[in-house]
C-alpha cells in the first residue's frame, strides 16, 4: 500500500512538473492547432509567426481561371502585399490562456478573418499582372446600365442592363485573400466582373418613367377661336428631357415651335383673307394690322406650368392682336370698308350700312396701301405731322377727327381742303395715303368708330 501511494504521488509530481513546463513553454508561444488563415502558427513565438505568415503569403502562387479556362498564374510576392499582422497576432496571442495549453491539443483555433484586415495590395501592380495575363479592362466589354431611350416610333422606353466582363479589382483582391485564407491554389474570376449600376427595375428608372407617364398623360386642351385642340401625348414626349438630377425638364423651343404650328392653322394675323365686299363681290384683302395670334412667349410659360402641375386643364391661350373671337371671324359685323377703285367708304354696324360716302385715297406714288387693318386710336382736334415726298417738305395739318389704323401713318380723317371727293380726284390731288373724308360726314364716321374696329381696304 505504501508503494502504491508513492507511485501515485510521483506521477502527480511528474504531471504537475510537465503541466508547469507547458505553461512556461506556451507563455511565449501560440498554442497547438492555431492557424492564421491557412498558415499553421502552432508553437511559434509572435515574431516567428509573423515571419512564417509573410513567407507563406509571398510564396503563394495562384492559377487564374475564367469561366473554367486557365489564363495564367500570379505569384503573390510579385504584388508586394503589405502585411501588418503584428497587432492582430498579438491580440490572438493574448486571447490564449497558457494555463489551458493542454486544450490546444484537442481543439483547433483558426483566426481566418484577420488576414483580410491586415493585407493590402498595390493596385497598380495587380492591374499590371492581370494585363500581362491578357485580362486588361481596356480590352474588355464594360457593363451597360439600364437606360431610358426615346424614338419617335416608340416614345420613351427602358433598355435592359447588359453584363460586361470588365474586372472589379477590389473583388479580385478579395478573391485572392479568400484563396489565401482557404488554402486554395486556383482562383475563378468570373464572379469579379463589374456589374451594371442601374437595372431596368431600379428605383431611379421607375421614378423617371413614372414622371414621363404623368407628364405625357397630362391633358392640355386649348380653346382657340371656337376650336378645341388637345396637345397630343407624343408631342409632349418630344418636349421631355432630363437635367443632371434626372428631373424632367421641357424643351421650351419645341413648345414655342408647336405654338407656331397652331398659329399657322388658326391665327389670322399676317394672313390674306377673303372678304365679301359691298361693290365687287368676294375680294382678297392683303394682311395689315388686323388679326390675332397666340402669344407664343407667354403661352410657352403657361404650358410649362400646366405640365409641371400635372393636372388636366382646358383653357383659352394667351392672344395678342385684334379681332379675336370664338367664331373665328376677326372682321365681324361692324367694320369700315374702303374701295380704292370705287373711291368709296362704307361703315357697317351690326351688319348694316350706317355711312356711305365718297372719299379720296392716296395719289399715285403715295398710294393708300390695301390691307386688313384696325383702328388703334380716336383723336379729336389733332395735328397730322410728317414729310411730303411730293413737295419735299415737312407738313403740319390740323384736322377735326383722326382715326389711325396702321403703323405707317395711314388713317381716316376729315379733309376740308379737298374741293371734290370720289371719282378721279385721287389721281390729281390725292392724299399721302390717308382716307380723306368729307368734313360733314367725318363726324358721323367718328361717332360709329371704336378702337379695334376693322378697316378693310381693297
Catalytic residue (choose from 201, 342, 434, 448): 434
Considering only CA atoms, which of 210, 213, 303 is closest in space to residue 256? 303
Q: For residues 248 and 205, what is the distance between their CA atoms, to the nearest angstrom?
A: 13
CA atoms 62, 64, 67, 68: torsion sign: negative
Strands (E), 259-334: 273-276, 282-285, 291-294, 313-315, 319-322
Q: For residues 371 and 272, what is the distance between their CA atoms, to the nearest angstrom?
A: 8
CA atoms 108, 114, 118, 120: torsion sign: positive
Q: Quick one: DSSP state of residue 195?
A: P
Reduce the secondary structure of 102-124 to three states and give it as a string: HHHHCCCEECCCHHHHHEECCHH
Looking only at the bridges linking them, the beta strands covering 454-457 and 371-374 are antiparallel
Q: For residues 35 and 113, what is the distance between their CA atoms, to the nearest angstrom?
A: 11
Reduce the secondary structure of 123-183 to three states and give it as a string: HHHHHHHHHHCCCCHHHCCCCECCEEEEECCCEEEEECCECCCCECHHHHHHHHHHHHHHC
Q: For residues 223 and 315, what is the distance between their CA atoms, to the nearest angstrom?
A: 6
**Chain centroid to CA 10: how far?**
92
* Whole-Å CA distances, 348 to 53, 284, 309, 453: 110, 19, 46, 10
Q: Quick one: DSSP state of residue 331?
A: S
Catalytic, 434? Answer: yes
Question: Which residue's C-alpha cell is 504531471?
Answer: 15
Q: What is the largest CA-CA distance in the chain?
A: 171
Q: Which residues are catalytic?
A: 413, 434
Amino acid at each position: 500500500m505504501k508503494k502504491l501511494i508513492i507511485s501515485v504521488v510521483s506521477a502527480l509530481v511528474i504531471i504537475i512538473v510537465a503541466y508547469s513546463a507547458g505553461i512556461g513553454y506556451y507563455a511565449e508561444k501560440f498554442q497547438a492547432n492555431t492557424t492564421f488563415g491557412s498558415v499553421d502558427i502552432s508553437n511559434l513565438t509572435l515574431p516567428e509567426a509573423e515571419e512564417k505568415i509573410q513567407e507563406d503569403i509571398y510564396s503563394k502562387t495562384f492559377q487564374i481561371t475564367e469561366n473554367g479556362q486557365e489564363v495564367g498564374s500570379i505569384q503573390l510576392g510579385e504584388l508586394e502585399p503589405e502585411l501588418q499582422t503584428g497587432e492582430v497576432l498579438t491580440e490572438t496571442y493574448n486571447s490564449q490562456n497558457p494555463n489551458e495549453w493542454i486544450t490546444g491539443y484537442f481543439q483547433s483555433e483558426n483566426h481566418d478573418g484577420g488576414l483580410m484586415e491586415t493585407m493590402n495590395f498595390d493596385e497598380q501592380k495587380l492591374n499590371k499582372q492581370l494585363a500581362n495575363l491578357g485580362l486588361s479592362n481596356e480590352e474588355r466589354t464594360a457593363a451597360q446600365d439600364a437606360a431610358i431611350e426615346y424614338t419617335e416610333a416608340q416614345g420613351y422606353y427602358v433598355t435592359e442592363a447588359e453584363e460586361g466582363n470588365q474586372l472589379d479589382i477590389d473583388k479580385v483582391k478579395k478573391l485572392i485573400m479568400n484563396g489565401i485564407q482557404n488554402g486554395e491554389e486556383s482562383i475563378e474570376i468570373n464572379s469579379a466582373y463589374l456589374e451594371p449600376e442601374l437595372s431596368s427595375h431600379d428605383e431611379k428608372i421607375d421614378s423617371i418613367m413614372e414622371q414621363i407617364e404623368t407628364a405625357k398623360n397630362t391633358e392640355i386642351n386649348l380653346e382657340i377661336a371656337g376650336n378645341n385642340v388637345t396637345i397630343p401625348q407624343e408631342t409632349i414626349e418630344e418636349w421631355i428631357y432630363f437635367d443632371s438630377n434626372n428631373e424632367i425638364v421641357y424643351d421650351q423651343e419645341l413648345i414655342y415651335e408647336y405654338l407656331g404650328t397652331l398659329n399657322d392653322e388658326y391665327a389670322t394675323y399676317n394672313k390674306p383673307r377673303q372678304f365679301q365686299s359691298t361693290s365687287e363681290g368676294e375680294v382678297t384683302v392683303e394682311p395689315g394690322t388686323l388679326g390675332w395670334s397666340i402669344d407664343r412667349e407667354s403661352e410657352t410659360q403657361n404650358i410649362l406650368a400646366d405640365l409641371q402641375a400635372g393636372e388636366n386643364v382646358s383653357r383659352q391661350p394667351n392672344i395678342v392682336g385684334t379681332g379675336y373671337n370664338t367664331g373665328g371671324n376677326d372682321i365681324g359685323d361692324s367694320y369700315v370698308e374702303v374701295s380704292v377703285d370705287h373711291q368709296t367708304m362704307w361703315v357697317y354696324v351690326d351688319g348694316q350700312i350706317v355711312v356711305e360716302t365718297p372719299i379720296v385715297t392716296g395719289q399715285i406714288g403715295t398710294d393708300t396701301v390695301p390691307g386688313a387693318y384696325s383702328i388703334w386710336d380716336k383723336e379729336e382736334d389733332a395735328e397730322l405731322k410728317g414729310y411730303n415726298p411730293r413737295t419735299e417738305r415737312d407738313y403740319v395739318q390740323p384736322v377735326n377727327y383722326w382715326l389711325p389704323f396702321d403703323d405707317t401713318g395711314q388713317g381716316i380723317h376729315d379733309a376740308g381742303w379737298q374741293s371734290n371727293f370720289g371719282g378721279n380726284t385721287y389721281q390729281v390731288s390725292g392724299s399721302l395715303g390717308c382716307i380723306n373724308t368729307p368734313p360733314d360726314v367725318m363726324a358721323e364716321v367718328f361717332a360709329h368708330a371704336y378702337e379695334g374696329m376693322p378697316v378693310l381696304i381693297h
